Each structure stands twice: as structure tokens, then as C-alpha cells.
Amino acid sequence: MTDGVSIRREGRAGRVTLTRPGALNALDHEMCRAISAALIDWAQDPEVSVVLIDAEGERAFCAGGDVARVHREATGGRQAEVQAFWRDEYRMNAMIAEYPKAVVSFLHGYVMGGGVGLGCHASHRVVCESARIAMPECGIGLIPDVGGSLLLARVPGRLGEYLGLTGARMGPGDAIYAGFADLHVPQDGWTELKRALVETGQPAAVAAAAAPAPAATLPDLLNEAEALFAGETLVDVRAALQADDGAFAAEARAALDRGAPLSLGCTLALLHRLKAERAGIRRALELEYRFTHRALAEADFLEGVRALIVDKDKRPRWRHAADALTSEDVAHMFEPLDGVGLDFHDWEDTAS
């Protein structure tokens, strides 16, 4: 059994439970590989009709990847291992998104970064009243990855740009509106729902257990987001925010001021590209990997993690000033990698 995750068969279900509540169920490389191996096995197991993904503890489904460990490995000369972690994590994200059987994720507490990649590509995404979902990667010098860029690109209007650049958190109603979740089931009903799924293997039990979600607040921001986040570049967006004296613009400005300019500019460009291409999950992950593969040497990831998580001085020294970021700086991070890329599992011959 891999530390940090419990993988087992129960009735008609394959079960994945994260078991690192003290670390907010942060994902590491071994956990991702173990989950991927189980998914491959269960896809061909006629006794498994549905996969359930949940987590122990009250605070988080998964607050992200184990970036403190990633920082230790990268600064200790193990950059290739970090790049392999991202590669295998992204492969797992694609597996979940394309899985030939129903996957039900139970999202509570913090669901961020790697937690979005694990839980928000499932076919049936359940949120409860405590869910707080976000992609805050720009604050640590990365970009919304694990396929989160694709989810953001599909949010109505320019709200995806707003969520991606600011890292704003979504409650259950907003997560459903934005397409990060499907149904609201109060947490006191989860035990019974999981029992039904295990016994029957029928994902229809999810809809039967659903209850009205809290009202979404994002629709009220749609027009302002359209006006303020429609710019082609980071300079354009910042100029629009500076010219607006409203509370929404002020809050967004403060969030952008905390983010790494290169990450912000690349996030904006990535969302625009995915929208224009009407891309799918594999294309989004491919572009994300071009950035993250370069991130250790050419972006602000190590400095962002140092400042916010390791030293906690909250004074990152970013490589670029926001007003000096060029289109060439951004474009370079998404250029094809020389001899490096992602390959994905082929489900074509897998029995469902």
C-alpha cells in the first residue's frame, strides 16, 4: 500500500481515498502512480462498475501537490524527478477525464491545484457545503495546470480569466456554475450515497441524492469580468483594472499584485489559446507541461514556493516586472520541448 492513499475494491466499486489529512491530502509522485495503476487495472475488471475518489479529514479533499517536497527535490539537484512527477500526474489527470467507467469524486474543504486535477475531471463531481475550489498557482510562480486550464477556459465569459489570474475560491454553487462540479450533496448524506454506489455500481445514485446547491455568486460578476479581463495581454488587463475604481477591480488588482507576472501572462495566453483551439484535455495538459517542464529553470516556481511556503516571508523576487513582460517571454514557455513530451493511456481497446 502506498503511503498517503488507500486503494481497494469494495463491492462494485474501486475505491481511492487520500489519507494525508495532516498535509491537507497533498499529492506526491508515488500517490499519482498508485492511482494510475489502479485505474488501469479497474478499467479491465468486470467486477468494477464505478470508481469512487474521496479523502480523509475535515479540512481538505486535496489542497494541491506536495510543493514543499517538490521544492526540496528541485533545490537538491533532483529536477528530473520533479519533471517526472508532473508528467505522471498529468497522465493521471487525462486518465480520469477519459475513463471508460463512471468516476465519482467527493469534494469537500479545500480543493486546489492537484486536487482539482484529481477530482474535477471525474464524470460525476459531488460537492458539499464546505467545498472551496480554486486554482491559485500564479501566486507560487506556476500556472493553472493538471488540466485546470481547460476547466477555466470553459467557464462562462471572462470569469475563467478572473479565476485563473486571481486564484479566487469558489463555494459549491459557484463550482457547479463554473463547471468544476456537477451536483451538490450535503455531506451528511455522503455515507449513504457511497454505500449505494458500492452496492449497486450505478452512478445514477448520485443524482438521486442531490440537493439544491447554495446560490452561485459568479453570475453577478459576469459583466464586470467581461469588461476587466477581456484584454489580450497582462498589460491590457492591468490597465483595465487600474482604470476602474470599483471594489471588484480593487480586489482583483490586489490579487494580481501578489502573483508572478510571467505566470499571470502565461495563464492569460493559455486560456486564450485553449478557447481559440476549442481544445480537449490532452492538448491542455500538453501545453501546461511545456510550461512546468521549464518552470524550475526559467520561471518563478522555486522562488514562489520559497517565499510563500518554505521561508514564508511572502516577499518573492519575481523575474519580471508586470509592465516589462513581453509577448516573447510568454510565447517561449509554450514552445515545443526538444525530445520531451507527454504520452497518454490508450483506452480504445479497454472494455467498459
**HEC profile of the chain:** CCCCEEEEEECCEEEEEECCHHHCCCECHHHHHHHHHHHHHHHCCCCCCEEEEEECCCCEEECCECHHHHHHHHHCCCHHHHHHHHHHHHHHHHHHHHCCCEEEEEECEEEECHHHHHHCCCCEEEECCCCEEECCHHHHCCCCCCCHHHHHHCCCCCHHHHHHHHCCCECHHHHHHHCCCCEECCHHHHHHHHHHHHHHCCCHHHHHHCCCCCCCCHHHHHHHHHHHCCCCCHHHHHHHHHCCCCHHHHHHHHHHHHCCHHHHHHHHHHHHHHHHHCCCHHHHHHHHHHHHHHHHHHCCHHHHHHHHHHCCCCCCCCCCCHHHCCHHHHHHCCCCCCCCCCCCCCCCCCCC
For residue 245, what pLDDT is reported? Answer: 94
pLDDT of residue 346: 87
149 φ/ψ sector (left φ>0, alpha ψ -120 to 50, else beta): alpha
Q: Are 85 and 70 in contact (CB under 8 A)?
A: yes
Predicted local confidence at residue 2, as pLDDT: 81
The pLDDT of residue 269: 98
CATH 3.90.226.10 residue ranges of the chain are 5-135+168-209
Annotation: CATH topology of 5-135+168-209: 2-enoyl-CoA Hydratase; Chain A, domain 1 (3.90.226)
Which residues belong to the active site?
A: 65, 114, 137, 145
Can you tell me the distance from the alpha carbon of 224 to that of 222, in angstroms, rounded to the nearest whole number?
A: 6
Q: In Å, what is the CA distance from 342 to each residue of 89, 90, 148, 285?
A: 11, 8, 17, 8
Confidence at residue 341, expressed as pLDDT on a 0 to 100 scale: 81
Q: What is the pLDDT of residues 285-337, one digit of tens each?
A: 999 999 999 999 999 999 999 999 999 999 999 999 999 899 999 999 999 99
Q: Is residue 165 a contact partner of residue 255, using CB atoms and an 8 Å limit?
A: yes
The tens place of each residue's pLDDT in the chain, 352 residues long, gives: 689 999 999 999 999 999 999 999 999 999 999 999 999 999 999 999 999 999 999 999 999 999 999 999 999 999 999 999 999 999 999 999 999 999 999 999 999 999 999 999 999 999 999 999 999 999 999 999 999 999 999 999 999 999 999 999 999 999 999 999 999 999 999 999 999 999 999 999 999 999 999 999 999 999 999 999 999 999 999 999 999 999 999 999 999 999 999 999 999 999 999 999 999 999 999 999 999 999 999 999 999 999 999 999 999 999 999 998 999 999 999 999 998 888 899 876 554 4
pLDDT on residue 351: 45
